[in-house]
Amino acid sequence: MTLFKNLLLITLITILTACGGKSNTKDDDDFFAPPSNGVVTEDIFDRERLIQIYLQMPASDFNTLRSEGRPLDTTLGGCPDADFDYTDFKAQANIDGTEISNVAIRKKGYLGSLSRIRPSIKLNFDTYEEGRTFKTLKRMTLNNDRQDPSNTHQCMAYDLYRAAGLVAPRCNLAQVVINNEDMGIYSHVESIKKPFLEKNYNNKSGNLYEAQVADFGSALNDRFELKTNKTLNDRSDLDRLAQVFSLPDNEFITQIAQHIDLDEFITFWAVETLIGHWDSATGNNNNYYIYRNPEDNLFHFIPWGTDSAFTTDEVLKPNSGPLFKNFSLAKRLYDIEQTRSEYFSKINTLLTDNWVEAELLSKLQKVQQLTKKTDDAYQEITNFIMGNEDTGQQSQRALLNDAMAGNIRHTAYLLPDQAITCTGSKTVLSAEFSSDGDEGSFSFTDAQGIQRTASMTLVTNYSSVDSLVYQLDNSTLPAVVGLTFIGAATPPFYLDSYVLQVFIEQPDYKIGEIPLQGISSNIMLFKVVDKDSTPPELELISVGHSGNISLYSAGSDSSGSTIEGEINAQMGFIKSIDYIKTNY
């Protein structure tokens, strides 16, 4: 979501100043290259070197793999297609010089990591040869670090969880090459599966749930995806837990401790706060697992998807950090003086024992030595750790101390405990645009069935606002081109204004058709609710479901450069979430 955050801010500022296959593979000895980075050991999570992963598969299969992904409208609307699944293909692999045939490969990703250019992938060694492992692993999860050009966030975050005494996946870095195309450096993260549970909890028979925008509640519990014991499908442990939230505070603390390892959760919450992991359980109801261990009959939290750690506040939940409590359990504990004090005490302990700035910077330097990336890639995380006097950014230590002292106003956003309404209603959007005179328009049918047209030409002719704005966002891998179209409604809706935000991965930003996929290459339509507020208030109306962006000229913001094209897409309406907000 970093790219959406950055480009949405550009949009706001702009308006203000004027947002399977089973095919066989063929061995090719010329394809495989020998490992070239350090001494290969039996430790598949060796941090001293880059794992060398070379994969070969039919080009048609790889093209299909790249194109797969959940539609953006169903994902953002909280209604992903239950029948959707990525396709398994066959690949030939060479990992650190060891050749492995018939390896299952599929794409992975839910939202922010989806990319056609550099897809995140999963490898499975026993899909086609049951029981086969590679250096004790049945599978490898390779994350593209799309939201982290420094390749540091995931491994450093998991290190800090473990240093605090928590269970977290192992992690290191890998160089990935597919069909002789260098995909770049990926984070190799230990999969949260039964072997992980057995290794860390001495028992793999309990219920494991994955959370994607999920919280506890009679209706909200449906958002947790059961990953083990699917045939039995007994989710009563979640139902019993949800009932505890209706109790008064004194009973709540006693009873919740019968379901959750409370001290462990407070530590987990404090680490999420420490590392600024806004897209987390307590920051965004996202990217975590919970496991009910039969050994103690308690739920335990497991971190996941930490590529957004070491960043800043989420734009869709303004002022919700740095003390995250956008999660029912965290907010309830924060509102109770005793447990709030324990939370603050744990943050202070972590700041003393684990948040050692010199050691953190040393880790950055070690990663840089492996990846050979320039200093620019590490500027954002360095600023997070140390602050930046030039921009006025506080260090994370200073920011947390200010927040705990009560010097920073903040807001908690809770999901309402109600079922998701999935209407599935769609609209067709068409647009034509040219930066030559900032001309063009975009048309769509609104949720009431009314055909509307927004004219960019009107904006250009009757105001000083640029109706077509080009922006390059280098905070992602690859970089993303953002095109912001601002249109004024044509008669009879004179007073309405709309913003169409277009995202295109930079390697795809060229003449031709660009298919919509994920958030990396897609469109978002906003209505301007209040142009006089600071920043202007926008309401998200719909986002792309399927279709194409067609470019006739792929220019930039330089003088004499032309951007011209059209869009034909099916879009899904997005119902805004009525968060339960509490100001502190």
- Are 110 and 206 found together in one domain? no
CA distance 383 to 310: 9
> 3-state DSSP call for residue 460?
helix
Residue range of the domain that includes 35: 24-57+80-190
Token output for 566 = 């059209």
Whether residues 439 and 532 share a domain: the answer is yes
- Name the band, by pLDDT with cuts 50, 70 and 90, for residue 7: very low
Spatial contact of 568 and 547, defined as CB atoms under 8 Å apart: yes
In DSSP terms, 572 is beta-bridged to: 426, 543
Q: Which of 455, 386, 413, 407 is closest to 325 using CA atoms? A: 413
Show which of 155, 190, 225 is a domain's final residue.
190
Integer angstrom CA distances of residue 537 from 9, 16, 326, 499, 532 = 11, 10, 22, 11, 8
Report the pLDDT value the prediction gives residue 79, as an integer from 0 to 100. Answer: 67
Selected residue with higher pLDDT from 448 and 360:
360
Whether 25 shows a pLDDT value over 80: the answer reads no
Domain boundary among 169, 190, 211: 190
Helices (H), 356-415: 357-371, 379-386, 396-404
Residue 447 predicted with pLDDT over 50 = yes
Q: Which residues of 103-139 are buried (b: 16+ CB within 10 A; e: fewer)?
A: bbbbbbbbbbbbbbbbbbbbbbbebeeeeeebeebbb
* 484, 14 contact by CB (below 8 A): yes
Q: For residue 219, give Cα distances in angstroms to 187, 223, 226, 311, 415.
A: 35, 8, 15, 31, 11
How far apart are the C-alpha atoms of 93 and 95, rounded to whole Å?
A: 6
Q: Which of 140-144, 291-295, 358-362, 458-462 has the lowest mean pLDDT?
A: 458-462
- 144, part of any domain: yes
Domain boundary among the residues 190, 211, 232 is at 190
Rounded to whole angstroms, the Cα distance separating 110 from 112 reads 7
Q: What is the pLDDT of residue 13?
A: 34
Query: Which residue do the tokens 């700041």 mark?
Result: 351
Classify residue 228: in a domain, yes or no: yes
Residues with Cβ < 8 Å from 478, sequence gap 6 or more? 115, 117, 118, 505, 506, 507
Digit-coded pLDDT (tens) for 125-159: 999 999 999 999 999 999 999 989 999 999 999 99
CA 501 to chain centre: 19
Question: For residue 12, is it within any domain?
Answer: no
Half-sphere exposure of 93 (CA within 13 A, CB side): 23
Which tens digit of pLDDT belongs to each residue from 237-291? 999 999 999 999 999 999 999 999 999 999 999 999 999 999 999 999 999 999 9
Question: How much is the pLDDT for 420?
Answer: 76
Q: What is the pLDDT of residue 38?
A: 78
Q: Are residues 439 and 500 in the same domain?
A: yes
**Model confidence at 17, in pLDDT bands (50, 70, 90)?**
very low
Residue 538 CB-half CA count within 13 A: 25
**What's the CA gap between 485 and 487, in Å, rounded?**
6
34 and 181 belong to one structural domain: yes
Q: Is residue 236 located within the same domain as residue 259? A: yes
Mean pLDDT over the full length of the chain: 90
Same domain, 291 and 432: no
Residue 82 in this model has a pLDDT that exceeds 90: no
Share of the chain above pLDDT 90, in %: 76
- Inside any domain, residue 360: no
Interval 311-328 mean pLDDT: 88
Examine the domain organization and report whether 154 and 205 are in the same domain: no
Q: In total, how many domains does the chain have? A: 3
- The share of the chain scoring above pLDDT 70, in percent, equals 91
Lowest mean per-residue pLDDT among 173-177, 274-278, 304-308, 437-441? 437-441
CA gap 149, 377 in Å, rounded: 6
Q: Could you count the other beta carbons within 10 Å of the beta carbon of residue 504?
A: 21
Q: Does the structure show a pLDDT above 80 at 121?
A: yes
Do both 46 and 122 map to the same domain?
yes
Asked if residue 479 is part of any domain, the answer here is yes
Give 92's Cβ-side CA count (13 Å radius): 18
Q: At what angle do helices 396-404 and 262-274 cross, to 10 degrees?
A: 130
- The reported pLDDT for the residue numbered 78 is 67
Q: In this structure, are 288 and 226 located in the same domain? A: yes
Domain check: are 43 and 152 in the same one?
Answer: yes
Residue 374 lies in a domain: no
Residues 351 and 215 in one domain: yes
Residue 420 resides in a domain: no
Residues 552 and 451 in one domain: yes
Q: Which pLDDT belongs to residue 467?
A: 92
306 part of a folded domain:
yes
The backbone torsions φ and ψ at residue 522, rounded to the nearest 5 degrees and listed phi first, read -165, -175
In DSSP notation, 226-278 reads E-S-TTT---HHHHHHHHGGGS-HHHHHHHHTTTB-HHHHHHHHHHHHHTT--
To which H or E segment does residue 281 belong?
helix 281-284
Q: For the residues of 85-108, what is the DSSP string, one character each?
A: -PPPEEEEEEETTEEEEEEEEEEE
CA distances from 449 to 272, 357, 425, 445 (A): 44, 56, 11, 6
Residues found in the chain: 584
Range with the largest mean pLDDT of 75-89, 110-124, 169-183, 445-459: 169-183
